[in-house]
A = this chain, B = another copy of it.
Amino acid sequence: MKVLNLQDKFAKFSDLWSPKVIAEMNNYQFKLVKINNEFTFHKHLETDEVFIVIEGEMFIEFTDSTVNLQAGEMIVVPKGTEHKPYAPNECKIMLVEPKGTVNTGDSVDIDRTTPNDDWI
């Protein structure tokens, strides 16, 4: 049982859009990600996905609307919902999702799809 300091963990990596696992609860994982600029539209067919903004601000574009999230805010994106995250500047977020969830969901993108069990 280890106390995890989120900022210490963020200091351990600098690559963007590449979720790093910091903790596992049952079969769910807590992942930190640094994002900047646009990601691709994708959906997760088998699971909801939680975004928690730790520092900075981000937007999530849906097919018919866009939401803005600031530090200290979170959202649950329901399974099957197309979404495209983007951030005007570097933004630090935490994701909560089942182990094995792929960052690009059903949209395999050779430039964007990253390993999904990369621990720091």
A23 to B5, CA, bound (A): 23
Residue A69 interfacial (CB < 8 Å) = yes
B6 and A78 contact, CB distance less than 8 A = no
A67 to B49, CA, bound (A): 29
Q: How many copies does the complex hold?
A: 2
A74 and B4 contact, CB distance less than 8 A = yes
User: Contacts A4-B73, A73-B6: A28 and B30 contacting too (C-beta < 8 A)?
Assistant: no
Contact count band on A: 35 or more
User: Contacts A25-B50, A50-B25: A3 and B62 contacting too (C-beta < 8 A)?
Assistant: no
Which chain B positions have C-beta within 8 A of A98? 26
B48 and A1 contact, CB distance less than 8 A = no
Residue A116 interfacial (CB < 8 Å) = no
- Taking the closest CB of chain B, its distance from the CB of A31, in whole angstroms, is 12
The closest CB in chain B to the CB of A7 belongs to: B72
A57 to B77, CA, bound (A): 30
Can you add 7 more A-B contacts, CB < 8 Å, to A4-B73, A4-B74, A5-B70? A1-B75, A3-B68, A23-B50, A25-B47, A25-B48, A26-B48, A28-B28
